[in-house]
């Protein structure tokens, strides 16, 4: 469903700000990570959640003020931030927890661009927090599929709020 919405938006020219000559950068930089203790606490207190096994996703969607000449680093510009965690109850070894987080970050990094463009288009700040609740080490393919489902669900949510 979310894929149809993105396709329709592309056909209607909503994504013209990404020119054809400009390469899409698949990055997950420092400013795109949810690291602030205050932001994480408010996300857990005020945010909403849903589950797509093996993930539980917390999110908080806020409308931003519209600033015409804001560059990506300035306030007033829409931003998308994400955090990732794995329970030490289910994975006793830090090596295993780090592996799962690395898989989650990589899958998110490669698939987040449509969600990022949509949040900028609709002037939303979006904070996402992925919690891995599964008990077994996942395969990369499984993580990619589930992150894709989560991101499509978020795209649909933003599109409906409009």
Q: What is the pLDDT of residue 22?
A: 61
Phi, psi of 87, deg, nearest 5: -70, 135
Mean pLDDT of 109-138: 94
Q: Is the pLDDT of residue 141 over 90?
A: yes
Q: Is the pLDDT of residue 162 over 90?
A: no
d(CA 153, CA 40): 21
Structure tokens at 39: 């932001």
Q: What is the pLDDT of residue 19?
A: 45
Structure tokens at 91: 């994975």
Q: Is the pLDDT of residue 66 over 70?
A: no
Structure tokens at 63: 């409308």
pTM given for the model? 0.80
Q: What is the pLDDT of residue 92?
A: 96
Q: What is the pLDDT of residue 112?
A: 94
Domain count across the chain:
1
- Over the chain, what is the mean pLDDT? 84
CATH number, position 16: 3.30.230.10
Reported as a single tens digit per residue, the pLDDT across 17-57 is 444 446 778 888 999 999 999 999 999 999 999 999 999 99
How many CB atoms are closer than 10 A to CB 129?
A: 21
Q: What is the pLDDT of residue 42?
A: 94
Q: In terms of C-beta distances under 8 Å and separation of at least 24 residues, what long-range contacts does 85-90 make, across chains too?
A: 85/129, 85/130, 85/131, 85/132, 86/131, 86/132, 87/131, 87/132, 87/133, 90/132, 90/133, 90/134, 90/135
Q: Of 11, 18, 49, 42, nearest to 117 (Cα)?
A: 18
Owning domain of residue 119: 2-20+28-161
In sequence order, which ranges of 12-139 are alpha helices (DSSP H)? 37-46, 94-111, 113-121
Q: Of 137, 136, 153, 133, nearest to 53 (Cα)?
A: 133
Question: Which residue has better confidence, 65 or 58?
Answer: 58
């Amino acid at each position: 469903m979310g894929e149809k919405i993105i396709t329709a938006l592309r056909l209607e020219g909503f994504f013209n700000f990404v020119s054809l000559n400009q390469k899409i950068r698949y990055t997950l930089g420092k400013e795109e990570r949810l690291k602030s203790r205050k932001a994480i606490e408010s996300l857990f207190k005020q945010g909403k959640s849903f589950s797509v096994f093996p993930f539980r996703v917390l999110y908080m969607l806020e409308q931003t003020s519209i600033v015409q000449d804001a560059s990506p680093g300035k306030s007033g510009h829409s931003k998308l931030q994400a955090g990732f965690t794995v329970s030490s109850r289910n994975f006793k070894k830090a090596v295993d927890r780090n592996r799962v987080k690395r898989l989650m970050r990589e899958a998110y990094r490669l698939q987040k661009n449509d969600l990022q463009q949509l949040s900028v288009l609709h002037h939303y700040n979006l904070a996402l927090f992925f919690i891995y609740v599964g008990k077994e080490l996942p395969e990369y393919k499984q993580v990619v599929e589930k992150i894709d489902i989560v991101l499509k669900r978020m795209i649909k949510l933003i599109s409906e709020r409009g």
